[in-house]
Amino acid sequence: MCICDYVVKYKKSYMPIIAPSLLAADFLHLADECQMINDSQAEWLHLDVMDGRFVPNISFGMSIIEQINSITKKTLDVHLMIEEPEKYANAFAKAGANILTVHLEACKHLHRNIQQIKDLGMKAGVALNPHSPIHLLQDVLSEVDLVLIMSVNPGFGGQHFIPYSLQKIQALNKLKQQNNYQFLIEVDGGVTLENAKALIDAGTDVLVAGSSVFKSANPLETIQLFKQIK
């Protein structure tokens, strides 16, 4: 299902898109974790790719995503926390990424990066680190399919939500409504059942939930509870 179909679904149902973050999964049982997501109400699977340069951590790359793509039924939402993402966009497209998000802070030629992603047949997202103001994206908001607000400092899971992220989401949503932009607003970092309603009320369309899903006693039930938030 393409990202525009999700926009229609969201507007009709007023339910958030849930994108469990695989970074918090049990990698010794990765196939089982992917099957659990297949069986869940989550629409997307969020995949964080880290290179040890842009962020102080290393996660996984194209080969893992290719294997995940072979067994998942979900939209693959790939978040590149890497330097020089333009060098690898084609490889991630071949691996099965449906959405490819790059960081504003990692792109010298952001508009060119966005066009490259689209030309490769993927939906294009742009992520903002906590310290980056949203006005830096104003010239490309009409071009992107998704804006990812990082509500923790990128690189590690399990961090606490940064409170002022809520104001960034509200301001971004105001720009979106004023200009009739079609991008989705995604939030990643410290998302829980406790703060999810506030995020949705602020304008969030997509909730990335890592530890709150995979570390819960019943991940399927947790995802269902996220889906019920309105």
Catalytically annotated residues: 48, 188
Cα radius of gyration rounded to whole Å, the chain: 16
- Alpha-helical segments (H) within the chain: 3-13, 30-38, 62-71, 89-95, 110-119, 165-179, 196-202, 211-214, 219-227
The partner residues of 100 in beta bridges, in order of sequence, read 78, 124
**In contact, 84 and 106? CB cutoff 8 Å:** yes
Determine how β-strand 75-81 pairs with β-strand 146-150: unpaired
Q: Is 81 helix (H, G, I), strand (E, B) or coil?
A: strand
Q: Which of 131, 150, 134 is nearest to 46 (CA)?
A: 150
For the stretch 84-111, what's the b/e string if a residue is b when 16 or more beta carbons lie within 10 angstroms of its beta carbon? Answer: ebeebbeebbebbbbbbbbbbbbbeebe
**In contact, 189 and 23? CB cutoff 8 Å:** no
Cα–Cα distances in Å, from 225 out to 20, 41, 207? 13, 10, 12
